[in-house]
Amino acid sequence: LFSSLPEVEKDEVFALIGQFRSDKHPDRVNLGVGVYFSDEGKSRPLEVVGKVEKSMHEQHDVTRHDYIPIEGDDRFLSAARDLVFSPSFPTPLKEQKADPRIVSVQTISGTGANHVGARFLADHLKPRCVWVSDPTWANHHVIWESVGVPPRTYPYYNKSNCTLDFSGMMDVLERESQPGDAILLHACAHNPTGLDPTREQWIAIADLCHRKRLFPFLDNAYQGFASGDPVQDSWAIRYFHQYQPPMEMCVAQSFSKSFGLYGQRAGAFHLVLNDTSANTKDNVLGNLAQLIRGEYSVAPRYGSTIVRTILESESLSNEWSAELQLMSSRIRSMRLALYEELCRLGTPGSWIGMFSYTGLTPAEVEVLKKQYHIYLLASGRASIAGLNSHNVKYVAAAISAVRAK
């Protein structure tokens, strides 16, 4: 029955993880997976997460393995919503008030939020296509194709000078998009290029969405990693949310990277409506709940309980934001160290504005893997979090050697 299935390419990131694990070379470096490693090259839970887990275990809450509601844990959802839409952080509990325009559901992390959102829009907005950046997170293509909405690409990366191709992006969208199309935008820390629009550019993108009646879908997987400040990093989302005249839009939110909860799958999908009548909101929530029920029934509760506990407490929130600062500043300093070392070595190439997109060719990436045990994606995307003060010179020297060939 299944002997003539189409062949499917293995997911590159997860395939690289496997190859890295079986490489026992002492100098091996993992720049493939988007996971944060400390300067000792270790992945470990955030301190604040460990603290909350300890107190959760001590409490012996007898309901700790119960199902949460289909739509998700209310308290988690309101904390998650505030983190994205509130202009201040931490938001004191007494100042939190639900925005009647937003309907939120809990999802299986950011991937689940992208999928629930795509499925919901495919069923109820029925877009002709979804516009995604070229390049984008590979899973965006997989997710939208799986719900029958073809992705089309808008230019994003200017290879010749490693910058954002903003005019190319706007030109294509201006000429080729049509009312009712969806458009996927990375809220911050664009994966894989690491290049984000400026605020002026975001304003122009929002104007274009409004004028051309495109449906904005903001993917928010790295809040806090671009600037170190979660509020600054959600500026674009808030701009769309507050746009006048009001625009309908949605946000897929992940806690994998920002809370280091990769395997716990904590996430949320937020849909911003224009019609806030109780009837419409109930119906939207009912439809989302039905979709979730048929796919995974309810989301997991462990990671979301940790996130909620942190975000509901001002002091834990402050601890989290300090750790987030630490992670993002370590990444920034490693990016700079790599850049400086490449320049010092006189490595040929355009290293300006070098974020996670190195501009290395697939052949160069292959040599880095085979000869130097350095793992990054064939596109040249390097996860800078895999660099540390012990391996950055080694990586720069290897890139230099590969480039010089």
* 307 contributes a contact to ligand PLP by CB under 6 A: no
- Nearest to ligand PLP of 9, 200 (CB atom): 9
Q: Please give the residue whose beta carbon sits closest to ligand PLP in the complex.
A: 110
Q: What is the DSSP string of 84-116?
A: HH-SSSS--GGG----TTEEEEEEEHHHHHHHH
- The answer to whether 366 touches 372, Cβ cutoff 8 Å, is no
To ligand PLP, the closest distance from the beta carbon of 390 in angstroms equals 25
To ligand PLP, the closest distance from the beta carbon of 351 in angstroms equals 23
Helix (H) or strand (E) holding 186, with range, is: strand 182-186
- Nearest to ligand PLP of 109, 223 (CB atom): 109
Q: Applying CB under 6 A, which part among 87-95, 108-116, 204-212, 325-333 lies near ligand PLP?
A: 108-116
- 137 catalytic residue (yes or no): yes
* Residue 386 per-residue DSSP state: G
Only one residue has tokens 């190319």, namely 168
Cα dihedral 57, 63, 64, 66, rounded to 10, equals 170
* 388 contributes a contact to ligand PLP by CB under 6 A: no
Cα dihedral 397, 400, 401, 405, rounded to 10, equals 180
Residue 193 and residue 163: Cα distance in Å, rounded?
Answer: 9
Q: Which long-range contacts (CB under 8 A, 24 or more apart) does 90-98 make?
A: 90/311, 90/314, 90/317, 90/318, 90/321, 92/314, 93/312
Please, which residues bridge with residue 163 across strands?
158
Q: Applying CB under 6 A, which part among 110-118, 160-168, 229-237, 365-373 lies near ligand PLP?
A: 110-118
Footprint on residues 194-253 left by ligand PLP (CB under 6 A): 219, 221
* 191 contributes a contact to ligand PLP by CB under 6 A: yes
* 34 contributes a contact to ligand PLP by CB under 6 A: yes
To ligand PLP, the closest distance from the beta carbon of 85 in angstroms equals 18
* 109 contributes a contact to ligand PLP by CB under 6 A: yes
* 177 contributes a contact to ligand PLP by CB under 6 A: no
Residue of 30, 256, 383, 391 that binds ligand PLP (CB under 6 A) = 256
* 267 contributes a contact to ligand PLP by CB under 6 A: yes
Q: Applying CB under 6 A, which part among 254-262, 308-316, 318-326, 368-376 lies near ligand PLP?
A: 254-262
Residue of 133, 254, 264, 383 that binds ligand PLP (CB under 6 A) = 254
Only one residue has tokens 């600054």, namely 232
- The answer to whether 183 touches 130, Cβ cutoff 8 Å, is yes
- The answer to whether 375 touches 31, Cβ cutoff 8 Å, is yes
To ligand PLP, the closest distance from the beta carbon of 304 in angstroms equals 12
To ligand PLP, the closest distance from the beta carbon of 399 in angstroms equals 23
- 235 catalytic residue (yes or no): no
* Strands 151-155 vs 102-108: parallel, antiparallel or unpaired: unpaired
* Number of amino acids touching ligand PLP (CB under 6 A): 14
Q: Applying CB under 6 A, which part among 61-69, 109-117, 271-279, 392-400 lies near ligand PLP?
A: 109-117
- 219 catalytic residue (yes or no): yes
- Nearest to ligand PLP of 191, 321 (CB atom): 191
Footprint on residues 272-291 left by ligand PLP (CB under 6 A): none
Residue 83 and residue 19: Cα distance in Å, rounded?
Answer: 36
* Strands 249-254 vs 266-272: parallel, antiparallel or unpaired: antiparallel
- Nearest to ligand PLP of 154, 372 (CB atom): 154
Determine the straight-line distance between the first and last CA of the chain, rounded to whole angstroms: 49
To ligand PLP, the closest distance from the beta carbon of 192 in angstroms equals 8
Question: Binding string, 134-153, against ligand PLP, x = CB under 6 A?
Answer: ---x----------------
Residue 107 and residue 114: Cα distance in Å, rounded?
Answer: 9
Residue 200 and residue 341: Cα distance in Å, rounded?
Answer: 33
The contact set with ligand PLP (CB under 6 A) reads 34, 109-111, 114, 137, 186, 191, 219, 221, 254, 256, 262, 267
Q: Please list the active-site residues.
A: 137, 219, 257
